[in-house]
Structure 1
């Protein structure tokens, strides 16, 4: 900033005698010493104050501000610190507003309680072998199709399914709010008109088209979206699966988590039972067909033996006899193998497999999980401070 010789002289006087800024008697004495009138000195000091050349707090001349970036393209931390001290009021105000906003949110935010369950696959759930693997090998050996790959069940995918979430939403749950039971649509009051709904106001002015959805389906859809945010699944490398449920009621959170565990076990069990029945039917059909082929080949061999006794065999008849005997042996081997597999498939269909092991069942939480008020307030303060510092640096540079 360019200063006249007279302005530089006034600044030097103030620097040597800072008390003249607020002390009229001292100002008059110093003005006479430098050959000035008290009024002239007072007016010049007031002008320099307006231009920001004299610090209003200390009464001393304002030092020249250092650049934030040095000639070597490095941040000048000293200049940054000086700016922070100079704009400390603005920084304090922004940080305080941010902290107060975070505190208000932490106090009015919905309180959630968390319940968790843990489980891990067991038995044949994670395997592709077993009886089904033998069936597949058997089908390939004899050129029989229709038997698909071994079923695999990914537990996180089952938990994330719309089918499970819809069951949870529409199921009646007993809570402290609704002792007689209610579904989540009623529990969350999604079926009630909201006093403040900007989205609804906006949609009034938009074209609706010819499409109209069932109100209950729409409410169920909204509830499923809300529930999706409250259920989390974590799968460890070891195979352990942890499911966490957040709800406003601790008992409701525990009940939903335990329901998820039962749903997973029942779903996998029913699917495995269905697959075992399908495999048993497949082997049974193949066994029936093999028995028919065996009986047919035996009848052909018997008829040939009656018509052509072995004593009258010619080389041509010996070849035909050999082929018929080989066909009987082959069909008998197929039938015996399928009969064994059929008995195994009946056992597999009848037995109950342990497919999911429950390590921990859910219990009602004794402490709230959200909101974490202390963390919210701390982060709000840090966020406000991080916003305030760049704003202060920008304003300070503009003032220059």
Structure 2
């Protein structure tokens, strides 16, 4: 009866002892590979990192006089602050990563030749250049522009050039946006002047025909309130129109403005015709304080409407003329918009290659591979002694496989 060899279980200590036999080769491999890696790293090109830091963008506060005047009007500023941009930091990041900025950087510094690309390979050049650029926006809104290059002076120059490109493009975009805003408000202001003239002439003609009409104090208060509310509605319509020029109909800002406009129109309707109550089957009932304008006597009602229209146009005129002047000033502004906290300077030390990391990684990785290889050799040697049949089968699969013989 054939007996099968008894297999021995090997633990960590057995493998450790086996590796001790090869400690000389392991040490030679570790230090040899480390020295080779160190020598190779000496010939690798050096790269330098230069960075420029920008202050968090802030809304312009140079027009405080006009801003205070506008804020004193109930309906606010018709969205001019909205046009300056919500979070300008993200606008800056978008500009810095744009194709326009990349192409300008490539052309100004001759990066096509430096990266060895042809003119028809500009897209590849953009990707190569972009890989050496980094734009970081922190929680405080500070933007850091970093450039990696083989020449420390060129890296600093490129980082500062990116700041210049950002500022010039941002000025152009702001002026273009302000021009569109000014044209929009100008058109509405022109309409308002015609409407104001028409309202003045209408009220004058009515008074010349019927004479002065005295309205109850409550009716006059209702007219004044309705006029202010109508002016708010028109102002909100202007602001909504401005937002729709830059945002989609599904944008949150547009939806909020539309809801606000609907609510104002509802309030005006209630002021004119009374509030509908469910307890009266939908019939209008009188407000607690002011009567609906519809309840004013016919002649007085006509006069009230003319007076209200005049008040609306006068209030709107006060708002639009200030907004129009502010928009013209914004359009004419070409002052720098970017505040630089730290300009980029040439780096004194290289950023990469990090020779110590290269040497350590190369030495450890090759040593690890060699340990696996030596353990495999030891296992084959033990297999030859314990189970010659299995070793023979393995040798047939891997021709030339032969475990090293122990030297006497």
Q: TM-score, normalised by structure 2?
A: 0.61
Q: Closer, same or farther in 2 for the Cα pair 1:296/1:311, shift >3 Å?
A: closer
- Which residue of the partner structure matches residue 67 of structure 1? 10
| Aligned partner (choices 94, 100, 112) of residue 163 of structure 1 | 100
Residue 373 of structure 1 is matched in structure 2 by: 355
Q: How many residues align?
A: 293
Instruction: Note closer, same or farther for the CA distance 1:92–1:109 as it changes in structure 2 (3 Å cut).
Output: same
How far the C-alpha of 1:334 sits from its partner, in A, is: 0.8
Give the C-alpha shift of residue 65 in structure 1: 7.7
Contact conserved, 1:110 with 1:248, CA < 8 A, in 2?
yes
Which of 321, 336, 342 matches 1:339?
321
Q: Which residue of 2 aligns with 1:189?
A: 116
- The residue aligned with 1:244 is 146
Deviation of residue 256 (structure 1)? 0.7
- CA deviations on 1:167-217 (whole Å, 9 max, x unpaired) are 11122x4xxxxxxxxx111223334xxxxxxxxxxxxxxxxxxxxxxxx23
Contact 1:102 1:376 in 2 (8 A): yes
CA contact (8 A) 1:91 1:392 kept: no
Q: Which runs of 5+ in 2 are unaligned?
A: 216-295, 383-408
Q: Return closer, same or farther for 1:349/1:229 CA change in 2, 3 Å cut-off.
A: same
SS at match of 1:121: coil
2:276 alignment partner in structure 1: none
After TM superposition, list the pairs within 5 Å mapping 1:317-356 onto structure 2. 317-351=299-333, 355-356=337-338
Structure 1 runs not aligned, ≥5 long:
4-63, 69-75, 174-182, 192-215
Distance 1:239 1:112 in 2: 28
* CA RMSD in angstroms, aligned pairs only: 4.0
Cα distance in 1 for residues equivalent to 2:24 and 2:380:
17
* Residues 194-213 of structure 1 mapped to structure 2, 5 A cutoff: none
Note closer, same or farther for the CA distance 1:90–1:65 as it changes in structure 2 (3 Å cut): farther
SS at match of 1:359: strand
1:260 equivalent in alignment to 2:152: no
The answer to whether structure 1 residue 385 and structure 2 residue 312 are counterparts is no
Over 3 Å counting, the alpha-carbon distance change for 1:362 and 1:141 in structure 2 is closer
Q: TM-score, normalised by structure 1?
A: 0.62
**2:54 and 2:341 in contact (8 A); partners too:** yes
- Cα deviation for residue 342 of structure 1 reads 1.7
Residues 237 and 83 (structure 1 numbering): CA distance in 2 closer, same or farther, change over 3 Å? farther
The structural deviation recorded for 1:333 is 0.8
2:142 and 2:16 map into 1 onto residues whose CA distance is: 50
Partner SS state of residue 339, structure 2 = strand
Return the offset for 1:399: 3.3
Identify if the C-alpha distance between structure 1 residues 90 and 158 changes in structure 2 by more than 3 Å, giving closer, same or farther. farther
Return the structure number with greater helix share.
2
Distance 1:368 1:124, change over 3 A: same
The one of 294, 298, 301 aligned to 2:203? 301
CA contact (8 A) 2:70 2:76 kept: no
Q: Structure 2: how far apart are the matches of 1:386 and 1:150?
A: 59
Kindly indicate whether residue 131 of structure 2 is the aligned counterpart of residue 229 of structure 1.
yes
1:296 is paired with a residue whose SS is helix
d(CA) in 2 for partners of 1:123, 1:303 = 51
Residue by residue over 1:230-263, the C-alpha shift from the partner in whole angstroms, topping out at 9 and shown as x without a partner, is 1122333333322221222222112111101111
